[in-house]
Amino acid sequence: MTTRRVLLAVGVLVAVVGVAFVWVVGRAIVDAPERTPRISAFADGRFAEVEPFRYCPVQEPLCEYEGSTAVLPVRPGHPLQLSLPGEISDSPWGFAAVYQDPETGEALEADDYFAPGTRNTLTVEPTRDGLDLVGVEVRLPSGVIDVDTNQEEIVSHAIWSIATTREGQGGDSGDGGTGTAEDG
């Protein structure tokens, strides 16, 4: 065989291997499962990566989705800090903090809404007017029309939920089965 034919054969072989490699990598990317957005939560030296409690497509906001609530201990003087990825903060989003009177059990929900791209972090105080923080939710809203009444309403197609406990009161420093939690 001549040198020219050997070089041609090697060139064709390299081209075939290159095309096959690009095809395999492309298929792996296309077929890779989508990872749902996660919120980073930090309180008093503990970190949790919070997976969604509910995560449905905007077009199907009431889908069946089996998520869970993360648990993170908080204590006075050490706020809960949340960091949201762009998949959440680049959309209109809502926030709810639930505070409870430790003696009467009476609860108060404080809600807030944010325009797209205006905020990707949030600091939540563990007490408010003598009430203890017992949980927070980050919500992505979606509009639906009730077919029976033809009324429009807003529902959350995605929710990230964190139950907060007082240090040493129930719960654990773990992740509530929703991600990772580490001592900081």
What digits encode the pLDDT tens for the residues 163-182? 999 865 544 434 444 443 33
Higher pLDDT, 64 or 137: 137
Q: How confident is the model at residue 17 (pLDDT cuts 50, 70, 90)?
A: low
Residue 108 has pLDDT above 90, yes or no: yes
> What is the pTM for the complete model shown?
0.73
Residue 99 has pLDDT above 60, yes or no: yes
Helix runs in 32-115, H state only: 86-89
H/E stretch holding 25 reads helix 3-31
The Cα–Cα gap between 79 and 164 comes to 11
What's the pLDDT score for residue 21?
A: 59
DSSP class per residue in 103-165: TT--EEEEEEEE-TTS-SEEEE-SEETTEEEEEEEEEEEEEEE-TTT--EEEEEEEEEEEEEE
